Structure 1
Amino acid sequence: MEQEPVTGRVVALQANFCRVRLDRDGPGQQLELLCVRRTRLGKSGQQVHVGDQVSLDGIDWTAGRAAVSRLFPRSSRLLRPAVANCTRLLVVVALAQPEPDPVQITRFLLAAEATDLQVELVLSKIDLVPRPGLEAWLVRLKGWGYDPIGLSVATGEGLEALRQRLAEPGITVLCGPSGVGKSSLLNALIPALQLRVAAVSGRLQRGRHTTRHVELFALGPEALLADTPGFNRPDLPLDPSRLAALFPEMRQALRSGACRYRNCLHRGDPGCCVGTDWDRYPHYLQGLEELLATGGSGAGRRLPEQEVQAERPEVRLDRRQRQPSRRRLRQSEQEGLSPPSPTD
């Protein structure tokens, strides 16, 4: 009877290795294997990413080692951070240390919206600001089209509400500027992690990078969280004509009416149904002008699956040109035989 293939999900990449959490426990309740990637995957243009569902072979259960032999089709793939099969993005923004920057928050939200995934927004460190300041930000962000959760890792406020929202099956990717408390938030949600955290730079009020690579952590039976390295200025995604669709408040205005001209870029021209009297109009205009000046940018977007899964044909040498492997040469020497020919 043919043995059932061993499958799992890539939860971390470490140099030339990847850690794979098994779909079914191995012998002795083994949960993870440290794996290499088969050379043929690279030859055919397939890259392994955190979140990939894979098939394994060459398993050494005693040593806890295996090789990734196959990638299963992906539902999505982010470029920055590189995560496969994610279902939602959680943008984390601090209300203090560092101070919130509306332009920076907007750029993170635009990059998140461009993925076509569900976008959630969290306001961290709410214990460091007066209550009226928190309420003002909650009202402002709801005007942007979001339903943010305010939370404090120090007091625990808001953690249970966030935990319930993230309990649905799927991979949630945490993203946001450095220093907003993503690792601290993960430690609060999953206390056993004990991830390294660092204080914000006192002179510049900028975050220090404590997360160096993407890694998945289990929040529930089917719910996974991806911690990602922080960065402070994400690229603007897509082209100028599609920028408006990344603003929820602009989408609402366009659903309620139509501009006079089909190619309207919503810069306050006569007949534009969006207008200029809304909070983020200056940020939209700034981003639009930047894209028009640079010709547009596709960085940070989610690739369509047909583009993600496109593979180059595997390059193979003619058998007559292949050299025998070192292993076969050693076997021949031990057995006192002549070296094998390439056609053997």
Structure 2
Amino acid sequence: MTETQAEPLLKVRDLGVRIMDARGSVAAVNGVDLDLAAGDSLGIVGESGAGKSQLALALMGLSAPGARLSGSIRFDGQELVGMRALQRRRLNGPQMAMVFQDPMRALNPFLRIGTQLTEGMRYHGIARGSAAQAEARRLLDRVRIAQPARRLQQYPHELSGGMRQRVVLAMALACRPRLLIADEATTALDVTVQASILALLNDIRAEQNLALIMVSHDLGVIAQSCRTTAVLYAGRIVESAPTEALLMHPQHPYAQGLLRARPQLEGPRGEALPAIPGTPPDPRALPAGCAFAPRCPRADAICSERPLPTAVANAHVACHHPG
């Protein structure tokens, strides 16, 4: 098999996630297909409630206890859907890792940074004792935290928000994973710290041949970090394309609406941002056809049928009226 024909590191086919609660079943993810090669980067964007975080959690095997997964998630040729919890725990860390949105929820407030940073190394048998502490210092230095030896002795509340986010990133990288998923990892940071975190992620991805998935509602973050982008709506990918092509020439009406809603540095001030009319559909009762049709200016009778992804220009678009 040639390099161009090689199996992607991550291959997702027809992935569905249904979450059961007291009111019934919620369709959080609906038939998602993804491919990601080692060293490549993918952005996933969409409104709140589009299913971005549920997709990321499903890839990591961290879906809620009541969640039901269908379809296929293959990582390095190994099927993850239906895998036993113990086997998944062995993968999470050395193979796959995740950076969460809120570092204060990801960190234990009662444990020192050093204890939390070395936990994964100790669990997976990568390093223990002084060797683990030395590696923890190296990791903090790698994510550009000054005085790493001192920081290892501190508690999360003693660090700034930017430093806590760097610690969480260091924890995710501690076991040298091959795939890193960052779920809104820079949302709560100011723009200066955000830029430095994104630059750091890009450097690490290049150095370690790391596959990266960035989940965000911020198209600016995706533009700086990801070669390709998938637009998620109502749990379905409605458009996927090289990031530059999607930002310059979006094909799906929903992707176009997201781009129009971005704040602009140029143009008249004081005007309200263009908004996509209507609200996202109820995930408990998704329409049989195009989920975006009730909000779409191009919708007509054919939109009562679910559109299949088709190639349009440089993109794959699930729309009856792209362009």
TM-score (norm 2): 0.25
- Greater helix content: 2
Specify the structure having the higher radius of gyration (Cα): 1
Higher RCO, 1 vs 2 (CA within 8 Å, ≥6 residues apart): 2
